[in-house]
Amino acid sequence: MPVLKNIAKLYTCRDEGSQKDIFPIEKAALVWNDGIIRWTGKENELPDEFSHEEFMDAEGGIVVPGFVDCHTHLAFGGWRSEEFEMRLKGKSYLQIAKEGGGILSTVKATREATEDELLNKSLLFLERMKRFGVTCIECKSGYGLTVQDELKQLHVYRRLKEISECTIKTTFLGAHTFPPEYTTNRRGYIDLIINDMLPQVAKENLADFCDVFVEESAFTPAEAREILEAGKKFGLIPKLHADQITASGGAELAAETGAISADHLEQVSETGIQRMAEAGVIAVSLPIASLYTQQPFLDCRQLIEAGVPVAVATDFNPGSAPSYDIHLAMLLGCNHGRLTPDECLKAVTIYAAKAIGADKELGSLESGKKADFLVLDVPDVSFWIYHHNGADFRYIFLKGEQIHP
Ligand code: NIG
Ligand code: FE
C-alpha cells in the first residue's frame, strides 16, 4: 500500500464549511491502494498498520485533489479560429451567430465528422487535459441536433469512458440551439427532442444530465422548462446554460426545476441568485468564455455572499472558449471573479464534483474516495494560481496510478 510522505500541506477540500474552507493538514501523509484513498492525516499520526509500507517522497510539495472540469463541449467537428479574428475586429458573438457562424457552423462540421474522427480528437484533448491535472470531466452533446448526430456525440463519450481512466459524466444538450431545418418550426424541434431524442438517450443510458441553452438566440424559459421536465421523466437531472449574454430568467428556472447547476450566469438577476441559494443550485462560472467573447465576467463573490456554492470550469468548445486550460480558468476566477485562491481551489474540486453529481466518489482527499491527486512544487495554493505555471507539477496520480511524470 503506497504512502506519500513529506507533504508540506495537504488540502482535503472536504464538503464542509463554506467556500473558503479547504481544510489544510500540515506535514501530512496520504495512503491509498486499489485506486482508493485509505487514510490522510498528519505524518506523525500515521497508524502503525501503514508504517511498513512503500514510501514516496512529496519533497515538501503541496497536495490537492485532481481537478474536475465540470463543463465542457469536448467532442466537436472543425474549429472556428476565424471567429476569433472577427471578434477582435468588433463583431459580437451574437452577431456572428446570426450570420450563420457560431454554434451552427460547428453543428455542420460535427455532422460531417465520423464517430471515430470525433473519438480520436476527443481522446487527444483528454490526454492534454490530464497534463493540466484534470482527472474528471463532464462532456456535452449539442453539436449534432438530429437524433443520429446527437447519439453519435454521446456514443463518443461512452467509448471514451471505456478507454480512459478519467471519470467522465455526460450531458445531453440537444437543446443547444435550433438546427437550420427547424428555424421556422420551433415546436417541431422541441417535439423531436422530447419524443425521439430523450427516449433514445435514456434507452441506451447515454447521459446523466439534460441541459438547455436559455438565451434570446436559443430557447425561451418556457421551452426549456418543458424539455427539462420531460428529461426528468427519463431520469435525467436538469442543468442550464443560463443568463450568459442576456438576463433571461435562467437562474430562476434552474431553481424551479431542481437543476443540479446553473452555468455561465454573467447576467444573473438578484432574484435569480436568491432562488438558487434557496434551492441549493450550484453556480458554475466559465470565465474563459467571458475572456474570448469579450463579455463581463461573473462576480463569483456576489454569489458566495448570497450562500451559493461556486464551481469554476473551462467550457471548452470551439467558439466561446477554445481553451481547456483549467489553470487559466482559475486565474480568471480569482482576478475577474473575485474568488480568493482557497475559494477557487474548492471551485475546481469538491464543488465542481457536486455540480456533476460526482462528489460521493471524488473531489476531496478523504478515505474511500478515488485516489486522484496532484503534488505541486509550490508553497501554497495562492502561489500556484499567482505564478500560473503549468510546469509546477511534481506528480499527477489518477485512480492511484502515477500518470506524470
Ligand atoms: O457554453 N452558450 C452556449 N454554448 C457554448 C458555446 C458553444 C459555441 O459557441 O459553440 C457556451 O459558451
Ligand atoms: Fe457551455
Q: What is the CA radius of gyration of the chain?
A: 21
Determine the average pLDDT of the residues in 333-357. Answer: 98
Average pLDDT of the chain to the nearest whole number? 96
* Coarse DSSP helix, strand, coil percentages of the chain, rounded to the nearest 5 percent: 40, 25, 35
How sure is the predictor about 20, in pLDDT bands with cuts at 50, 70 and 90? very high
* 181 shares a domain with 54: no
- The three cell numbers of residue 148 are 443520429
Residue 243 cell numbers, joined:
443568463
CA distance 333 to 301: 10
Looking at the structure, tell me whether residues 273 and 373 fall in a common domain. Answer: no
Degrees (nearest 5) of the Cα angle 108, 112, 116? 130
Closest CA to 292 of 75, 74, 88: 88
Same domain for 253 and 319: yes
* CA–CA distances in Å: residue 33 to residues 2, 30, 321, 368: 7, 10, 37, 10
- 122 and 56 share a domain? no
Domain that holds residue 392: 3-65+364-404
Distance 310 CA to ligand 1 centre (A): 19
pLDDT band, very low/low/confident/very high, at 217 (cuts 50, 70, 90): confident
Contact 214, 250 (CB under 8 A): yes
* 247 within domain boundaries: yes
Domain presence at residue 89: yes
Element at 187 (helix H, strand E): helix 186-192
Is 106 contained in some domain? yes
Reported in sequence order, the residue ranges of 159-264 that DSSP labels E, i.e. its strands, are 167-175, 209-213, 237-242, 261-264
Does residue 286 fall inside a structural domain? yes
Whole-number Å distance between alpha carbons of 196 and 201: 9
Question: Is 216 within the bounds of a domain?
Answer: yes
Residues 400, 303 within the same domain: no
Answer whether residue 109 is part of any domain. Answer: yes
Q: Which of 350, 372, 370, 349 is nearest to 361 (CA)?
A: 370
pLDDT tens figures, 105-128: 999 999 999 999 999 999 999 999
- Going from the C-alpha of 245 to that of each of 218, 223, 242, the distances in angstroms are 11, 18, 9
DSSP state of 78: S
For 270-282, what is each residue's pLDDT tens digit? 999 999 999 999 9
207 and 132: one domain?
Answer: yes
pLDDT per residue as tens digits for the range 141-192: 999 999 999 999 999 999 999 999 999 999 999 999 999 999 999 999 999 9
Does some domain include residue 359? no
237 and 312, same domain (yes or no): yes
Nearest CA to ligand 1 atom 6: 320
Q: Which of 71, 72, 73 to mutate to test the pocket of ligand 1 (most atoms within 8 A of CB)?
A: 73
Predicted confidence at residue 93, as pLDDT, reads 86
Query: Among the atoms of ligand 1, which is closest to the Cα of residue 218?
Result: 3
Tens-place pLDDT, residues 296-312: 999 999 999 999 999 99
Which residues form the pocket of ligand 1, taking CB atoms under 6 Å from any ligand atom?
Answer: 73, 102-103, 106, 213, 241, 244, 289, 315, 317-321
> Is the model's pLDDT at 17 over the cut of 90?
yes
- Supply the CATH number for residue 282's domain: 3.20.20.140
Q: Over range 314-341, report the average pLDDT.
A: 98
Contacts of 200 (CB under 8 A, 6+ apart): 147, 151
49 and 31 in a single domain? The answer is yes
Instruction: Name 242's bridge partners.
Output: 264
Q: CA triplet 129, 133, 136: central angle to 5 degrees?
A: 70
pTM, to two decimals: 0.98
Ligand closest in space to the Cα of 213: 1
